[in-house]
Every structure is written in C-alpha cells, then in structure tokens.
Amino acid sequence: MTPSKSSKFPFTWQAGFTALMFGFMYLPIVVLAVFSFNESPYSAGWKGFTWKWYEKFFSDSRILSALADSLTIAFLAVAIAAVIGTLMAVGLSRYRFPGKSLYQGVAFLPLIIPDISIAVATLVFLASIAIPLSGGLIQLSLGTVVAAHVVFCISYIALVVSTRLGNINPNLEEAALDLGATPVQAFVKVLLPELAPAIISGCLLAFVLSMDDFLISSFTAGGGTNTLPMEIFSRIRTGVKPDINALSVVLILASGLIFGAAEYIRYRSEQKRMSKP
Amino acid sequence: MSSPASTSPSESTVSKDLATPRWLEPFALLGPAGIWLGLMLVIPALLIFELSLVPGIRPGEVVNPSGLENYFQIFREDVYRQVVWRSLGFALGTTAICLALGFPVAYFIAQMVPKKWRNLVLVGFVLPLWTSSLLRSYAWITILRPTGVLNSFLTSLGLPALDILNRPPAVFIGMSYSLLPYMVLILYASLEKLDRRLLEAAADLGANPLQSFWKVTVPQSLPGIAAGCLLVFITGLGDFIDPELLGGASSMTMARLIYNQFLGVTRNWGFGSALSMMIVLAVSLAIALLLKYGDRSSANL
C-alpha cells in the first residue's frame, strides 16, 4: 500500500524478538521430534538413534483402536455438520425472522463457551434425559460423542461459510431462479460451487478440532469408546513415554498436511476471486 | 449482511408450481441445525442451570431445585474461593504475557516484513496451533521436568536447575504457548491496517519512537488489543489441559474442579454445575465489557 520505508524505522530489535518467539513456538515440536528418535527412554541426553518407538507405537493395538475411534468420530461429525452447518449459514444470510439474533447467538455459542461447560452440560443432558427417555436405547457411546462433536463443528463450519457468503454475489442465484431453475437446482448448481472452498476449509478446521478434542469426548464417551486424546491423556499423566513422542511426530505431520491443504484451498479460491472482475 | 432477505419472498411467481413451496425453505435451511443445537446445546444448558440450584446431588437422584446454596458454597469456603482467584489469575496473567510477547511479533509481521512474505511468516508462526493441545502440553513436560531439556541445558552452562514443573510458572508457560498464536493473529489483523503516514507525521512533528508508539500505534490498534485480550482471557479461563498436566496439585483451577465434580472421585453434580455456570457467567461478562468498550472506541473514531 504505502511505499516501503522500513529501513527508516527505528525498532529493529523486533526482528530479533520475532525470531526468538519463532524459536519458542517451535521448541516443543523440535524437542518431541528429536526425542522420538532417542535410544534412551528417560534421559534428556542423546543416547543414539532408533526407530523403535515408532515400531512400538505402530504395533500398539490400544493406540491404533483409539485412532480408529477418533477418525470415525471426526469423519461422521464433520460430515453431518458440513450439511446442516452450511444450510444454517445460508439460511441465516437469507432470512430475517423474530428471534434471529437468539438463534445466531446459540449457533455460535460453542465458539466462546469453554469446552468444559459444554462437556458437562452434554453429559448431564444425556444421563438425565436422553438415556432414561429412550429407555436405554441411547447409551454413552461413539454415537453420543459424534452428536456432541457435531455441535461445535456446526459453529466452525457455519462461521467460515458465513464469511464467504458475505463476499459472493447474491444476484447469481436470483438469476438462476429467474431463468427457471428450481430453488434446489439453484442451490446445488450455483451457490454450492461458490461455497465449496469455504465448506472444505471449514470442514478441515472442524476435523482437526474434533480430532484434538479431549474434554467433550471424555464426558460423552462412556466405557466402550476411547478416542486418541483420551488415550494420550491417560498415558502422559503417568509420566514421559517415548512412544508418545513418536505418535506426536506422526500426528503433527498429519495435521501439518491438513493445514497445508486448507491454506492451499483458501489461497487458490482467493486467487480465483481476485482474477474475476 | 442479509441483503437478499427482502428480495427472496417476493420471487414466488417462478416457484408457485414447484414441488417445494418457498415457505418451506427457511425450515429446510434452519431447521436441522436448530433441532440439533436445541437438543444438544440449549436443553443441556438449561438443565445445568436447573442442576446448579440443587445442593449435593449425585447421579441418579431426583432433581429438586432449592436455591443458590451451591453458589454460596463457592464463595464461603476458602478452598473454592482460592480456586476462583487462581483461575482468574492464570487467565489474566496469560493474557498479559501473550500481549507483551505477541504485540512485537504482530507488529513486525504486519509492518516490517515485505508484503509478499507476510502471509507466509504469519502462517508459519501460527502453524503449531494445528497440533494437538495435549501433545503440546506433553512437550512442555519433557522440557520442564526436573531431568528435562531445560535443566540439562542449564546445568551444562553451570547454572542451577529450576524446579518448574507442577508449579504455577509451568501453567503460565503452557497456557501462554497455547494462546500466543491467537493473540498474534488478532493483533496482526488490526496492525496491518495501521496508517503508517500517521507515524511518519508524528516523527516529523518531533515525537520520539516511544511517544509515537504510545500516542499513535497503540490507540489505533486498541480494538485489536481488546479483542485479542478477550479471546486469550476467555480461552485461558476455561483451559483444562495445561493446568491439569503442567500445574500439579497446587494449580487447581475452576475447569479442573468441574472435571472432578463429574468424572473424578468426589462427585457433586450440583456443585459442578454451579461452577460451570460461574465460568459461563465470567465469559459473558468479559464479552459484555468488550462490546461496551468496543462501541465506545468505535464512537471515538
């Protein structure tokens, strides 16, 4: 915007400080990565290179089944939330109705209310209403975790989609309707392609948050379900475990990939938008 | 925001003969989310409120709301009062640390990094946010424990070892680490819009860098500072993982206390619900303060 005059600017210590903070942000990750290859399980010193922690964790059936539970929950919750969250965002952008601000407030409540409060409320609801009313048909299980995760996934997906909705041309859909498309056709053929990048990046965000969630899962899981964060939590409470280091590195690489994908999609859709007149 | 709202209902000429009448559309769009959120969020929240009025309830007992006893208990007993103050202290301290550490970083990225590198540097800085919060705390255990990385480093320099883990400083480190990226993101958004010409004008008029920082930069970025502090404060207030894993027994916070009332050894759902309501209340209060303050600052502009 303004011509660069950074050479004139007196606060050069900020570059050094930022570099220091970059170090702070990446120190824990580097430490995890280095120790995941360390021969010695407990010492902070370097005792030689090994792959054994990776082998140990890849053959650990508890961790693998916890990973499977987490992935199942995240995929189901994100899939459900993607549909109803997108519909909600479109509905909120389109209609004015009495109680809209209340609806909106509730919809985005999970973004600000602490997880612990949501977790507690969901547990009490399930234990004192849903389970007795359904005659035991509903039990604390993978299904209840999914139902609870959908709540915050809706908020995040709708938030990202709403931002995009504010930027697209509302006349396109009207034009499709004028040309004889049914509302459903106009929605699927005109609006949905425009929203796709936002829906996908919202889904990726919700997916990572669902995979990361510890509190809501542990309050709604019951005995039979064990998600990866729950498994990690119960292990690291009892001390430092080198195979957890290996697991961390794998998970960090995976979330790095997801993040890269999300950024790439966002970047490309922005480029496309900019190239349009 | 809702500009097409007024035009949609009048478009009934096209859709009159179609299978789905237009009046159904709002229900199709807003209904599913409404039902889901109503069942899984609104009813549970009301239930927690009701339960918070029942003293000493255990799972399976009849709910019989009888007053504010649970709330009084939080403030009557020293142990619980301390927990409330400690939670607020952790949240406020973390907010201050994040602001102090985050402002120079956000300023540097927004104002001193060449424009084409800005996004990359910012994304690079907040990237660790995408890793599991449990694993980030776990990494700090590895670093801070008595025989950990920090102490090996200190002793190799001939300095005395620090016993930080399971004490409040470890909680501050862990929470600041987790929340710093949020602060930087929000401050960046605000500092990016900073009008550099005002800084140059201030310098031309004889202000030294420190003066122009306090008189020009800070007032202009105040809404961003307020929003960043609010986000860090409310997230910090509800944080469970960092105090639990890094703080040890001496760092009991409200979130940990709630956890114990529901999943721990000493179960008291009514008391836990009251604590949960307190956290929600504190968060709402912080947001209300920001909204009031935000309105005033925008009116000033």
The pLDDT of residue B15: 42
Give A27's contacts in chain B (Cβ within 8 Å): 143
Q: If pLDDT is split at 50, 70 and 90, which confidence band does A8 have?
A: very low
Task: With CB atoms and an 8 Å threshold, state whether A256 touches B11.
Answer: no
Cα Rg for chain B, rounded, in angstroms? 25
Q: DSSP secondary structure string, chain B?
A: --GGGGTGGG-HHHHTTSSS-GGGHHHHHHHHHHHHHIIIIIHHHHHHHHHTTSTT--TTSPP----SHHHHHHHHSHHHHHHHHHHHHHHHHHHHHHHHHHHHHHHIIIIIS-HHHHHHHHHHHHGGGGS-HHHHHHHHHHHHSTTSHHHHHHHHTTPPP---TTSHHHHHHHHHHHHHHHHHHHHHHHHTT--HHHHHHHHHTT--HHHHIIIIIHHHTHHHHHHHHHHHHHHHHT--HHHHHHSGGGG--HHHHHHHHHHSSS--HHHHHHHHHHHHHHHHHHHHHHHHHHHHHHHH-
pLDDT in tens, A29-60: 888 888 888 777 666 667 778 787 788 778 88
> pLDDT at residue B2 above 60?
no
pLDDT in tens, A139-184: 777 888 888 899 899 989 988 888 888 877 778 777 888 887 787 8
Task: With CB atoms and an 8 Å threshold, state whether A252 touches B124.
Answer: no
Task: With CB atoms and an 8 Å threshold, state whether B145 touches A248.
Answer: no
> pLDDT at residue B6 above 50?
no
Which residues have CB under 8 Å from A178's CB, separation 6+?
B14
Task: Name the residue in chain B with its Cα closest to that of A186.
Answer: B15
Phi first, then psi, for residue B198 (nearest 5°) are: -65, -40
> pLDDT at residue B84 above 70?
yes
The pLDDT of residue A240: 66
Task: Name the residue in chain B with its Cα closest to that of A30.
Answer: B139
Q: Which of A121, A150, A229 sits opposite B47 (nearest CB)?
A: A121
Say how many C-beta atoms besides its own lie within 10 A of residue B114's C-beta: 9
Q: Which of B47, B125, B141 sits opposite A22 (nearest CB)?
A: B125
pLDDT in tens, B233-256: 988 988 898 998 888 888 888 888
Chain-centre distance for alpha carbon B86: 16
Which residues have CB under 8 Å from A198's CB, separation 6+?
A160, A161, A163, A164, A165, A269
CATH of the domain spanning B71-300, picked from 3.90.180.10, 3.90.100.10, 3.40.1190.20, 1.10.3720.10: 1.10.3720.10
Whole-number Å distance between alpha carbons of A29 and A51: 18
Whole-number Å distance between alpha carbons of B57 and B174: 34
Q: If pLDDT is split at 50, 70 and 90, which confidence band does A276 have?
A: low
Q: If pLDDT is split at 50, 70 and 90, which confidence band does A275 have?
A: low
> pLDDT at residue B14 above 50?
no
> pLDDT at residue B93 above 90?
yes
Task: Tell me the whole-structure pTM to 2 decimals.
Answer: 0.83
Q: Class of the A49-275 domain?
A: mainly alpha
Which residues have CB under 8 Å from A186's CB, separation 6+?
A173, A176, A177
Give A90's contacts in chain B (Cβ within 8 Å): 29
Q: If pLDDT is split at 50, 70 and 90, which confidence band does B9 have?
A: very low
Grouping H, G, I as helix, E, B as strand and the rest as coil, residue A35 is helix
Domain boundaries, chain B: 71-300
The pLDDT of residue B299: 40
Q: Which of A21, A32, A85 sits opposite B139 (nearest CB)?
A: A32
